[in-house]
Structures are given as structure tokens and as C-alpha cells.
Amino acid sequence: MTRDHDTAQALATRQVLIIGNGMATQRLLEQLVSRPERPAEIHVFGDEHTPAYNRILLSPLLAGEIDEHEMTLRTREWFEAHNITLHCGRRITAIDRSAHQIIDDQRIRHDYDRLIIATGSRARLFDLPGAELSGIHGFRTTEDVTSLMAAEHHTRHAVVIGGGLLGLEAAVGLRKRGLDVTVVHRGTHLMNRQLDEQAAALLLEALQNRGLTLRLGRQPVAYDSDDGGRVSGVVLDDGERLRAGLVVVAAGIVPNAELGIEADLACDQAIRVDDTLTTSDAHIMALGECCEFKRTTFGLVDPIWAQVEVLADRLCGGDRRYALTPCATRLKVSGVDLYAFGILTPEPGDEVLRYLDADHGDYRRLILRNNRLVGAVLYGDTRDGAWYFHRSLEQGDLTPCRDTLLFGAPDATQQLEEAA
Amino acid sequence: MQTNTTCPYCGVGCGVVAEHDTTRCDTLVSVTGDPSHPANQGRLCVKGSALAQTLGHDGRLTHPRINGLEVSWERALDEVGARLGRIRQQHGSGAIAGYLSGQLLTEDYYLANKFFKGFVGTPHVDTNSRLCMASAVAGYKRALGADAVPCCYEDLEEAELVVLTGSNLAWNHPVLYQRLRTAKRRNPLMRIVVIDPRVIDTCEIADLYLPIAPGGDIALFNGLLTYMAGKGRLDRDFIERHTEGFDEALAAAQLEAPDIETAADLCGVDVERLETFYYWFASQLHVVTLYSQGINQSSSGTDRVNAIINCHLAGGSIGLPGAGPFSITGQPNAMGGREVGGLANQLAAHMDYHTPGALDRVTRFWTTPGLVPTLPEGPGHKALALVEAIERGEIQALWIMATNPLVSLPDANRVRAALKKCPLVIVSECMARNDTLEHADILLPASGWAEKDGTVTNSERRISRQRGILPPPGEARHDWWIICEVARRMGFGEAFAYSSVHEVFDEHARLSGFENDPQATPETGYRLFDISGLAGLDRTQYDALAPIQWPVNASAPQGTARLFEDARFMTPSGRARLIAVASRPAMQRPGSDTRLLLNTGRIRDQWHTMTRTARASRLMHHRSEPFIEVHPEDARQASVQNGQLARLHNPLGEYLGRVRVTTAQPQGSLFVPIHWNDQFARQARASALIAAFCDPVSGQPESKQGRVALSPVPAQWEACLLLGSDVTAPLEACDWWARIPLAHCQRWQMAGEKVPDWRVWCERMLGQAPTLWSEDETRGHFRAACLHGGRLLWWLAVAPVGTLNPMLGDIGWLDDCFVLETLEPTQRRRLLAGRAASGEDGGATVCSCHQVGEKTIARAIAGGCKSVEALGERLACGTQCGSCIPELKKLLTAQTERREEPVESTPA
């Protein structure tokens, strides 16, 4: 093992292959090129035909607020300038661990000293009757967006399944394009993993004001088709049939862990990694939505950025370790600002502070446990979100600023300083 | 346009310049100090500076009312005349009484006195000056033979030693305090001694402070007399040639205080300090002892005054520059009232009933071709006796002018009951609402300051014009006009036929000189009060009258700064009298429950019952709510905390106020302000706790030695409700409330025991559900605001008892929000926070003139301001009226001490 370890160190500057060309990979590359100890040879394999883009901007793209090129993170010239080989539209089909090679869809083998799997995730599509029909999409890629945009030519009715972050972004985007959009959500309130009822009610009202139709506490049971090829409707569990020439499924993601599973790496829901982001194979690492750390999978950028930091450091010979950290959720759809983190449901003994300006769509709910901030939901004015989040990370006693805590960072900071 | 006039507040009698926009008849542009007035030479205190803000027609009484219904003047005057006439006919002249005020101008006062005593024929005319000055008057009369203040303000500046006793000059006579301060700066040899049971702001100026035990005054001055005699520091020549009664007075003093140790023990001061004071006093000729309510408001007030005067006579320090016993009056025209004879024991123009020839002289003077006055033969009921006479049914009609006795008289609850019982209560008043008006049968709207036209006399006998600048609002009329109209209807028209107020003044001046021969003796007609030199002024001359000190007569046409320079006193013998006095215990005795002594007094920024000063919102910031000052040990024993609401009670009544725990208050004694009343708070009339005991000589009540018990108010919550309109807040759920008028809204402070569901409460009690709210349920915090069309209608904050006010701090920003047509989103978001943005919270106002708060000052001190001057330069605080300088100094000291304390790590 010692020898293996030494070898790994020695290999640090040699050939690194990265499968997947998403945001995590791109951020990793940015980190690596800024460091002199970077591996000399880096190859990136992406099955999409373009360099990495900012997936967070998919909803503005759909809404027609930005162009595709504005999403692009880096041009091909950047890769050349930094001596990184980018293989676009090249799908990796297998890993040959014993040979330290990966095999692409043209059956070409590529050697690696160190392999990084960053294949991301995909929308979880329901295995419902009619799931094979055309017109049913996820909302993960620019290609998805292109398909959604193309659908406007033959339908005015869209159904979005999933009232979470992604689903609502898609729904608002489609609505902006002029479609009649119905959101079907299993939970009794929107974004039920991030928001309490009050914030969700404000969100609901805001979305309804933007012309969205909502079906809460419902699930799809089947897709209808008029012609047997294209989707024409969604059947809900209470029997209601919604007209839909276009269906966006945004009710959860599935990690793209298949390569790892097939290569016999240790996997549960995704490819298992340790705190060095190494898989069960010391030469293979995994990053982002396709990996799993301590039974946790990932869907938000913040923890993945933290993983990138660790991985970049490791690839440059460092010894940083990854740990799970709390993270906050933000939503920004056409003027609806949301910020939430931590505990969502107060436990007995927790203290709840609330602020509501219903006319103005402003809401705040803070949960304190032993005078420490453990959860927050901000709706409307979210400017203090980051400040609250830092307070929850610090876990400091907020008793001195309890009176002003709801009213924002400047007041509370002053009180904390005065008490210090 | 600028008009010189005088301030209507304290007895300093400052000249002010009123800036007037002639297109506006309801208010003045500004009021500033008059540099040409001798009393203040341009200085002005915070109350005076805020005069323009107290004006405006809102809240004024503008129409006569009978039983609450508006009527015409004709109807009201006919009714007053007819009913008074009927009562006089049925029950005699003595069934009618007048209760006047040091707020009246001399002309009003003169005519009221003439009306009641001369023509109605009742001796029962007294005035609210009874509550503040009666003992000073009685003391002067006993010692000097006349109610004659020997000193002038220059004497304060020329003295080598100034003794302030029973006077919180810094708060109650701020301009004199400023003059004294300046004088001390110019003359480093000047010494100032402050004698007071409380550590008052005036102590800031003191070289020596004597924390006297309440009631220790006579022992202290008797001890001084003993000391002077023992140390050979008497002015033997003066005593022998110009005084009488010395031996008896000294014997009495020696009996009570044979040595310093005994004196020190009796007055609760340590020997060394006392001896320092005695030594200073005894070794200086140029000593002024300045005293006020702390001396007067006692059942032995007159003896206290004489104990002081005794020492001045024994040392010969009277009638000299920088020397004399100097009584400072509380009211703007207490002196004018004394001059016209407005007190029940006086007749007129410094003549008493027993003054030989006085009845005849005044009768002759007031006689007209068709009318002969019917003067009563002897003195009438003094204020407290007046109440008793009403209770007995002897007094059937009471006419109250320009005062609010239901707040100010002791045992106020009893006074309420008496007034309720009185068949006819007439009130002449300029405000539409006060506690007294609620008991009036007939209301007569009177003119107020800036409208009233006449003269006032300040504490140094200086007569100044108070000029009518604005027309009275609605149908309000001058008091002298009202009196004349009633007199006419009662058949006395011939004696009250004045075309203008200057004719009244002329008559007053003529009476003062009528058969007044300086060559004669007091027994043969000589009176010290003589302004015959001002008789015969025509309207133009009267309007041009410059401030002048009486006597003003042929031998002193330019007036008289100082009295008794020739050591000729107004007694029959011409000698001043020393009076043998001895301490007597207060008449209000501690009970088994009412152990604590209750001291009462004024605060810096309010005046009397707040009818005027509460209209200037900036005057509400220094002390916003009724309060109780308590020594930490008493607070501990009563289980009350600083900032908590507490209750004072005794068999007479109760008082609710916020606790201020302070070591400035001596243990065993409490202090409450006299200002609050039913218009501004629930159960906050200090007078309700004061028993109606008075000085046997002066009849002045013992207002500073009540006896009470202290207990916490068992409230759970406190709320601050800001209402954009003048409607009364819903007070059903609260056990306590106080109203604080702000510039653009009314602030209601409330507290209660039962906690309502606040969102429901808002909807039910305020008529609208909150537009925005916040809550911290476990802590009992709730805030809400209601907007309509973007405009703020009300704002509410609730917190557990004792935590609300410190948390809210300065709410000036919220007040400003009430005038905005639409609140911007950023402002709206800050609404519940209660302030524009952090860092702008200035804290509780310290400097009212420039609205500088405690936190702002603390930041400036932390930022390097090391002195009052430096603070003034940076923040302008303390640079206008200067009355906050003591507080600035305290802040400077406190912060410096904190910085110098060794830093210790304290466990959390």
C-alpha cells in the first residue's frame, strides 16, 4: 500500500483523465491551471458537443433572457492555451481498471494515471405508461432546452412534474415563452424540502400571479398520446387529465454512476468516495453529482465547489480532506428571491422567529436552538441570507442580537459588536 | 417680523425675540433669547427655545361651553354673571371663591383680585403660587417686614459664595444656572455649595455638596448660626443697629444645634463637609443663598426660610452686592401675583388686611362715582382650606383661572371629589383638554402665550412686557376682558371700564403709589412695592416699556436693583427680624407600609402639567414617561428592577411609573416628577400621594415629604403603539399606559398582565389586521405595522416587561415615517426594525436643543472627544441652552472610567 501511495504521489504531474465536462470539471480545471504543480497532461471527455456551460443559467436561457453563448464557461481556445485536451461529443463507455484505461464510444482506449469521474446526474424520469413518448424531457442540458423551445411550435400546453427548485425554474421559463404551464407537485406545498408553508404560500401566490397553474399533492400516473408517438396529456392520481404537448420532468435526479458500477467500484446510490474523493480504486476519483460521500449525494453547487477545492489540492500533491458542510438553497425565478438553509421543521424546544409583509411578499423565518441559528427561510428580501448562513456555520450565541435578528445583518452585527 | 416679549415658563423671566411670519396667525417662526433683556442677555433654555413648537390652534379651547355645549360669549358671560349673582345673593359673598395662577399676567391678576375682593366681596381668592412661593413670602414678611426679594441676578455673579439649597437650578432655572456657571468660570475664587437630598445635576457646578437628610434644613442653618456665634463671625454692628430678635434666634439655634457634631447628625451630613460649609459662609460677606421649592414646600417652610435669613442677618450679608437670601420663584408671574395681592392673606398692592389703614385706602382707591367696593374684613381661605370649605358646602362657586389644580393640589383625589361636589365650577383656560376641565360647568376660552398682552415680574422684581403678537384663536379672549365682562353683568361695570390693558396697568401702578410715602413708616402707609413711576403711561409708552426692577418711583425713576442697601427694613421698627426656629418633623409620617419618603419635583424639559410643553415633541425625549427614582437598596427590598414599572401607594392614592434605579437618590427616599396627569398617563399624578398638610404660617403644602410604599407592577408585557391619528389608543387590556405626543404621531406606551394574541388584538382593537408583522413567540416579542395605500397608519411593538424601551431606542425615524405619503420599499422593510438603518440610532436624547442622543455622544467620546467643549464642537450638543452639560459630563466621566478599568475576563 505504501508503495501504491508513493506511486500516486509521483504520478501527480502525469496523465489525468476526466470523464464528464460539466461545471464541476470546469471549476476543477480553473483551480488546476492556477497552480504550478498541476498535472502536465489533462484530458477531458464530454458527451455534449460544446465546452462546459453554466447549467444554473438554463432557466434564463429557456426564458429567452440570455443566449447560449453567454452560458459558456470557457472557449476551446482557453483549453488550448492551458494545454488541456478537450474531447467533445465523446462518450466513455467503460473503464478498464486493470489496464488503467478508459474506452470511448469509438472503442478507442485512453491511458490514465489518475482518472476522475465527474459524470453528473440526469433527471429522474418516471417509469409510467407512456414514458417512451416523445415530448417528455428532463431539464438538465442545453439540449433539453433546445427541445423545449422547439416544442412551442406544435403545442401551447406544458406540464412540469416537480415543484422543486428545477421544476419551478423550468415552469417559469416556459411560461415566459408564452406557454400555458401546469406544475404538478407531490408535496402539499412547493419546494417542501427547502421552504415552510408560509414561504411556499407566498411563492405559490407569486407563481399564480405569473400565470402558472398548480396542482399540489398530486402525482402523474400515466402519459396520454393522441397519435401513439407524441405525448398529448398527463393523467394524475385523482383522475384529472392535463393537456400537455410537452412534459418536463424535474422531480429529482439520478446520479450518472453507471460507469462506476460497471467497473465494479463501490457504489450505493452513486459512486462512493472517501474524504480524499478517492473511490474504492486508489487511482480513480469521483466528483460532484455522480459521487456519494457518507451516504450523501449532491445536487447543489456549494458542496461540489468544496469537493473541487479538495480534489484540486490532492492532484497537486496536497493533503486536504473533504467534509460535509451545510449549504444554502437559493432560487431566483423572475424576481422571486428565496434563500433557505438548515433545519426546516422546528423540533420541540426550538425557537421560531418570523417576519411577514404579505403585501410586499417579504418573509423570514429563523429557527434557533440554544440561541444558535440552525435554519432559515427567507423569501423576498434575501440580501441578508448569506449573513444568516454564516451565523449558522459559526454557531455563535445570538442572544445579544436576538431583538434585531429578524431585521437584518447591519442591526444585528452592531448589537453583536456592542456585546463583544 | 420680530417682537421682544418674555418667556412664559419659570421665574427667571427671560426676554425672548419672537420671529413672526405676519401671514400666519397661529404660530411663530422661532423664539430665541433676547440679547437686550437683562435677565438672560440672549441665553435661553430648551423649554424657551421650543416655544414656537408649542403653539398652533390644535388642542386649543376656542369657544365658551356650558355643560360641554358650545355657546356664544354673550350666553356664557350672562350665565356666569347670573349664577354668581344668585349664589352671592343666596349664600353671601363668601360662597364665591377664585383660584388664580402665576401664569396670569399682572393686569389679569390685578383685575381678578379687584373683582373678587373689591366687588364680589369675597376674601376667598388664592392662587397656585400658594404651592410654590407662599413660604418664601411669609419668611420675607416675617424677617424683612415685606414680601421683598432683596437681591438681583447680578448678585449671583458678584458673590464670593453661592449657596444653592432646595433648588435644582440646572433643570428648573437653566438660564440662571448658565449665568452662575459663566461667573464661576470668570472668577475662580467663587465657591458654590449645593445642599440637596438628591445628587442633582446642579451638583456638577458645586465645590461642595451637602447631601442633606430630608427635613434637615433648619438644623443645618441653626448649626450655622451657632457656628458663626461661636467663631466670632457675627456682624455685631449690623445686628445691633438693624435687627431684632437675635438673642432668641441664637438661643433657639444653640438649643437645637449646640455644636457642629449635633448639627451634622441632625442633617445627616458628615462633620467635615459641614464645617467646610460653615467656615465658608461665616468667613464671607458676599454670600447669596438661593432657595426654591426644596425649602418652601414643607410644613415648616416658613421657618426654613427664616433659618436662612437669620444667618444672612447675623452676618450682615444683605443689602450688599453679591449678598442676600434669594428666593427664586417657579412661575413666570408668581411675583406679579404677590404684587397685586392675589394670595388669600393679602389685600392688594403689598397691603395686607391687618396693615393699618389698608382697607380704607383700597376702598377709597377703587371707589367710583357710582360704586363703593365692599372689601372683606379679613383674610380668606388659602388653597387647601378652600378645598375644605368646598367640602363643607360653604363655597358654592369656584372660578379657576389659568391653572390645573386637579393635578397640582395635594391629595388630588380629594380635590376631585370636592370639585365634583361644588355647585358651580367656572374655568378660564386656553387648552381644550386637561384634568380640571372635566369637572367644569362653564368653560371660558382664554388667550395663551404670544396672544396675551401685559406685564410679568420675575424673581429679581423685574417687570417686563409680555406682548400680544398673535390673535387668540377662535373666540378665545384675554382674561382681563373676561373678568370685566362678568363684572359688568354683575353690576360693577363702572369699576371695570377699561378700553385697553394699559389702563389696567396704569391703575395698578397708581394704587402702588397711592398714599405711599417713603418718608412715612409701614404703619403709616409706606409700602416697598411702589411703581408709581410707571403710572400714566399711554399705550405707546406702555408698549415700549423696557424691563425695569421695582420700586420705580420719584426717588428711583430707573428702578431699583437691590433692596435694603440702607438697612431700613419694612417692619414697624425698621429693623429686620431674626426668628427663633427649630426643626419640626414632617407632618406626613411613615406608616407601617408607607415607609418610604416621597420627594416630588420638576424635570428639565417639562413645565407644570404639560399642557404646553408636551406639544413640542422634542421636549418629550429627555424623560418620556412618568418615573420613580429609587436608591438601589430600596429597589432591591421592594423587588423592583431598573426600567420596570412600579407602583407607589398610600391611603390617599397611587402612582404608576417607570423605575430609575440611581444612587443619586438617597436610600429611604424616592423622587417622582410633578408633571404627569390623566391626559398623559394612567395614575401618574404625584399630588395624589401627598397629604394636604401645610405650613401653619404660609399655608404652603408639604409637597416634598409624602409617605408611600413601593411595589412592582405585575405586568407581563409592554407595548409601544404609534398612532398616526389623535384617537385614543385601545387601553382596555392594559394595566398601565402613557401617551407621548411626537411630532407626527402619538406614542402610546402600554403594559399589562394578560397576554393577548397580538395579531387578533390588532385586528379587533385597531380595526385592521397588520400589513406586516414579526414575532419571536417564545420571547414574547411581537411587532406589527399597518399601511394603507403605502401610508403608515399605526405601528406596534410588544416585548416582555422591562425590555421594550431599551430595545426600541430612539424612534424618531418611525415618527417621520408617519408623514410620508408612500413608504419606499427600503423604508417599509425597515419599519419593524424601527429605524432607518443600523448605526443611525442615536440613543436616548441628551441634548434636546440639537437632538443629540446618548449613543451618538458615546461614539464621539470613544472617537476622541475628551471634554464638553470638544463634544459641542463636533456634535453641537450643549452649545445652545447648556442644560445638558451636566449629563454630558457624566457621560464623559463614565466612559473614561470604563476605559481605565482593568480588563478582566468575566465568565459568560
Give dist(CA B508, CA A81) in Å, integer.
Answer: 107
- Angle, helices B358-366 vs B501-513, to 10°: value is 150
Query: Which residues, in sequence order, are bridge partners of residue A101?
Result: A96, A111
HSE (CB half, 13 Å, CA atoms) of A286? 29
pLDDT digits (tens, 9 = 90+) for B408-455: 999 999 999 999 999 999 999 999 999 999 999 999 999 999 999 999
**Ordered structural domains, chain A, with CATH:** 2-122+254-315 (3.50.50.60), 125-251 (3.50.50.60), 335-419 (3.30.390.30)
Q: Give the pLDDT confidence score for residue B880 in this predicted structure.
A: 66
Give burial (CB, 10 Å; 0-12/13-18/19+) of B237.
Answer: exposed
**pLDDT grade for B901, boundaries at 50, 70 and 90:** very low
**pLDDT grade for B902, boundaries at 50, 70 and 90:** very low
Q: Give the pLDDT confidence score for residue B882 in this predicted structure.
A: 66
Q: Test A356 with B774 for CB contact under 8 angstroms.
A: yes
Topology (CATH level 3) of domain B2-54: Phosphorylase Kinase; domain 1 (3.30.200)
The label of the residue with cell 373666540 reads B475
Nearest residue to B153 (alpha-carbon basis) of B173, B130, B134: B173
8 Å CB contact between B810 and B852: no
> Residue B883: pLDDT above 80?
no
DSSP sequence for B818-870: TT-SS--HHHHHHTTTTSSSTT----SEEETTTTEEHHHHHHHHHTT--SHHH
Outline which parts of chain B fall under CATH 3.40.228.10.
134-327
pLDDT digits (tens, 9 = 90+) for B182-229: 999 999 999 999 999 999 999 999 999 999 999 999 999 999 999 999
> Quick one: DSSP state of residue A68?
G
Question: Cβ contacts (< 8 Å) between B803 and chain A: which residues?
Answer: 403
> Residue B833: pLDDT above 90?
no
**pLDDT grade for B906, boundaries at 50, 70 and 90:** very low
**pLDDT grade for A213, boundaries at 50, 70 and 90:** very high
> Residue B756: pLDDT above 60?
yes
- Provide the Cα torsion B220, B222, B224, B228; round to 10°: -170
Q: Give the pLDDT confidence score for residue B838 in this predicted structure.
A: 54
Supply φ then ψ for residue B851, to 5 degrees.
55, 55
Nearest residue to B798 (alpha-carbon basis) of B883, B893, B720: B720
8 Å CB contact between B40 and B175: yes
> Residue B587: pLDDT above 70?
yes
Rg from Cα positions in chain A: 23
8 Å CB contact between B810 and A362: no
Q: Give the pLDDT confidence score for residue B449 in this predicted structure.
A: 96
Give dist(CA B740, CA B749) in Å, integer.
Answer: 8
Residue among A362, A406, A411 minimizing CB distance to B838: A411
Give dist(CA A299, CA B835) in Å, integer.
Answer: 40
- Residue A275, C-alpha cell as written in the block: 474524504
pLDDT digits (tens, 9 = 90+) for B341-375: 999 999 999 999 999 999 999 999 999 999 999 99
Choosing among A196, A350, A356, which should be mutated to test the B contact, i.e. which has the most B CBs within 10 A? A356
- Residue A214, C-alpha cell as written in the block: 398548480
> Residue B857: pLDDT above 50?
yes
Give dist(CA A278, CA A43) in Å, integer.
Answer: 19
Q: Test B772 with A356 for CB contact under 8 angstroms.
A: yes
Question: Cβ contacts (< 8 Å) between A360 and chain B: which residues?
Answer: 772, 825, 828-829
Q: What is the pTM of this model?
A: 0.81
Which residues fall within 8 angstroms of residue B694, CB to CB, at 6 or more apart?
B299, B382, B384, B700, B701, B702
> Residue A56: pLDDT above 70?
yes
SS3 category, B260: helix
Nearest residue to B711 (alpha-carbon basis) of B660, B647, B656, B655: B647
Residue in chain A closest to B833 (alpha carbons) equals A407
Cα–Cα distances in Å, from A391 out to A396, A413, B39, B837? 7, 10, 60, 20
Q: Give the pLDDT confidence score for residue B904 in this predicted structure.
A: 37
> Residue B545: pLDDT above 90?
yes
Q: Test B833 with A403 for CB contact under 8 angstroms.
A: no
Cis peptide before B551 (omega within 30 of 0): yes
Instruction: Say what percent of chain A tops pLDDT 90.
Output: 55
Topology (CATH level 3) of domain B65-132+333-549: Rossmann fold (3.40.50)
Nearest residue to B351 (alpha-carbon basis) of B548, B577, B106, B516: B516
Q: How does the average pLDDT of chain B come out, rounded?
A: 93
pLDDT digits (tens, 9 = 90+) for B557-584: 999 999 999 999 999 999 999 999 999 9
Residue among B779, B825, B908 minimizing CB distance to A402: B779
Do the bridges between strand A114-117 and strand A121-123 make them parallel or antiparallel, or are there none, so unpaired? unpaired
Mean pLDDT of B656-679: 95
Instruction: Say what percent of chain B tops pLDDT 70.
Output: 97
Question: Cβ contacts (< 8 Å) between B772 and chain A: which residues?
Answer: 355-360, 362
Outline which parts of chain B fall under CATH 1.10.10.1100.
845-900
Interface predicted TM-score of the whole assembly (ipTM), two decimals? 0.73
**pLDDT grade for B670, boundaries at 50, 70 and 90:** very high
Q: Test B838 with A413 for CB contact under 8 angstroms.
A: yes
Residue in chain A closest to B905 (alpha carbons) equals A420
At residue B878's C-alpha, the angle toward residues B873 and B882, to 5°, is: 140
Q: Test B828 with A357 for CB contact under 8 angstroms.
A: yes
Residue among A355, A407, A414 minimizing CB distance to B839: A414
Give A123 or B691, the one with higher predicted confidence: B691
Which residues fall within 8 angstroms of residue A226, CB to CB, at 6 or more apart?
A232
pLDDT digits (tens, 9 = 90+) for A75-117: 889 999 999 999 988 999 999 999 999 999 999 999 999 999 9
Rg from Cα positions in chain B: 27
Q: Give the pLDDT confidence score for residue B439 in this predicted structure.
A: 93
Q: Give the pLDDT confidence score for residue A333 in this predicted structure.
A: 67
Topology (CATH level 3) of domain B134-327: Dimethylsulfoxide Reductase; domain 2 (3.40.228)
**pLDDT grade for B243, boundaries at 50, 70 and 90:** very high
Topology (CATH level 3) of domain B596-712: Barwin-like endoglucanases (2.40.40)
Nearest residue to B298 (alpha-carbon basis) of B312, B308, B310: B308
**pLDDT grade for B851, boundaries at 50, 70 and 90:** low
Q: How many CB atoms lie within 10 A of CB B614?
A: 22
Question: Cβ contacts (< 8 Å) between A411 and chain B: which residues?
Answer: 833, 835, 837-838
Q: Which of A256-265, A323-332, B293-302 has the lowest mean pLDDT?
A: A323-332
> Residue B848: pLDDT above 80?
no
Question: Cβ contacts (< 8 Å) between B799 and chain A: which residues?
Answer: 403
Residue among B807, B829, B832 minimizing CB distance to A381: B829
Outline which parts of chain B fall under CATH 3.40.50.740.
65-132+333-549
> Residue B905: pLDDT above 60?
no
pLDDT digits (tens, 9 = 90+) for B711-734: 999 999 999 999 998 888 888 889
Query: Which residues, in sequence order, are bridge partners of residue B564?
Result: none
Instruction: Say what percent of chain B tops pLDDT 90.
Output: 84
**Chain B nearest CA to A377, separation (Å):** 14
Question: Cβ contacts (< 8 Å) between A356 and chain B: which residues?
Answer: 772-774
Outline which parts of chain B fall under CATH 2.40.40.20.
596-712
Residue in chain A closest to B759 (alpha carbons) equals A356
Give A277 or A305, the one with higher predicted confidence: A277
Nearest residue to A138 (alpha-carbon basis) of A161, A120, A106: A161
Q: Give the pLDDT confidence score for residue B908 in this predicted structure.
A: 34
Give dist(CA A56, CA A388) in Å, integer.
Answer: 23
Residue in chain A closest to B787 (alpha carbons) equals A359
Chain A residues touching chain B at CB-CB below 8 Å? 351-360, 362, 364, 381, 397, 402-404, 406-408, 410-411, 413-414
Residue among A359, A402, A407 minimizing CB distance to B832: A407
CATH architecture of structural domain B845-900: Orthogonal Bundle (1.10)
> Residue B839: pLDDT above 70?
no
Mean pLDDT of B742-747: 93
Instruction: Say what percent of chain A tops pLDDT 70.
Output: 96
**Chain A nearest CA to B193, separation (Å):** 39
